Amino acid sequence: MLIDGFESSRLDADDRGLAYGDGLFETLALSEGRVLALDRHLERLARGAERLGLAPPPDPVLREEIDSVCRGHTRGVLKIILTRGSGGRGYRWPNVQRERRIVSLYEWPRALDAPPQRGAFLCRHPLSINPAIAGIKHLNRLDQVLASRAWPQGDYVEGLMLDGDGHVIEGTRSNLFLVLGRRLITPCLERAGVAGIVRAAVIERAARLRLEVIVKSVLVEDLLVADELFVTNSIIGVHSIDRLDADRPMIYRAHAVAEELVQLLRHDELIP
């Protein structure tokens, strides 16, 4: 783990990331010795930083630190945290802010080497609604933590989260797609949710597979009429769901569209 470029596993306890969740993070796959979709993650980090009034780390510095942390490893989960740094007490930030960056590599999750888990459930804990910070991968993730608390026993890869108005938004750690024929539908993230890198890649490249993408509000009823369901993130890639625990439990037998996307995005080195 590198903190501001120095090998360390401890940081100042007055960091505003801890005090307020005043920062951002990125989670990237290291696969076969390559960090996947690195440019896209660094671009998102820079965009999020701009929205939060943070200076992103200089690109060459951050890339050098990523190289350093990944050196000698072929596989792992790379995490980058950017905070507003040390900042005393009080929400107003200091006149001179010195951002802090933490670059660390975690082991590849063992669960992903086992036979894939394909179940999904509906989380009871709702997502917070706030258009002003929706989409950003910030450090305020208590919703996801609390939603993950009631993880059922069994073969579940993801819990799907609704906002307080009953819109299905995303998984606790992934974005969601519904397949209807050659159409992909993915929830609109204008009011809640994280705009994922793989989600953006699917939206951008779907046309190559003659898939149409529609971004819109999604209700639980919409899930019940989908041919396929899949979730996406940088570590699990594009991951088919085969059943959903809802009031009316659903089975999804089709996975062909998800498979097409897996092939395409793997080929482009965007997912593991």
Catalytic residue chosen out of the listed positions 26, 65, 83, 137: 137
Q: Is 173 in the site for its own copies (CB under 8 A)?
A: yes
Shortest Cβ 81–its own copies spacing (Å): 7
Among 31, 144, 234, 240, interactor with its own copies by CB under 8 A? 144
Shortest Cβ 115–its own copies spacing (Å): 19
DSSP-derived secondary structure letter, 142? H
The Cα angle at residue 48 between residues 206 and 172, in degrees rounded to 5: 65
Neighbours of 12 (CB within 10 A): 12
Nearer to its own copies, 149 or 216 (CB): 149
Q: Assess whether 74 carries a catalytic annotation.
A: no
**53: alpha, beta or left? (left if phi > 0; alpha if psi -120 to 50):** left
Q: How many residues does the chain have?
A: 272
Neighbours of 124 (CB within 10 A): 12
The DSSP bridge pattern shows strands 243-245 and 168-171 to be unpaired
Nearer to its own copies, 68 or 260 (CB): 68
Q: Is 94 in the site for its own copies (CB under 8 A)?
A: no
Q: Assess whether 170 carries a catalytic annotation.
A: yes
Nearer to its own copies, 22 or 65 (CB): 22
Q: Is 179 in the site for its own copies (CB under 8 A)?
A: no
Q: Is 128 in the site for its own copies (CB under 8 A)?
A: yes
Q: Is 17 in the site for its own copies (CB under 8 A)?
A: yes
**Closest listed residue to residue 161, CA positions, set 258, 224, 226, 151:** 151
Q: List C-alpha distances in Å: 165 to 45, 128, 219, 250, 256.
A: 29, 10, 10, 22, 32
> Which pair of tokens denotes residue 181?
């024929």
The helix/strand/coil state of 70 is: helix
Nearer to its own copies, 13 or 114 (CB): 13
- Contacting positions for its own copies (CB under 8 A): 1, 3, 8-22, 25, 27, 52-53, 77, 79, 81, 83-84, 88-93, 102, 104, 106, 109, 125-133, 138-149, 151, 164, 172-173, 191
Task: State the catalytic residues.
Answer: 27, 137, 170
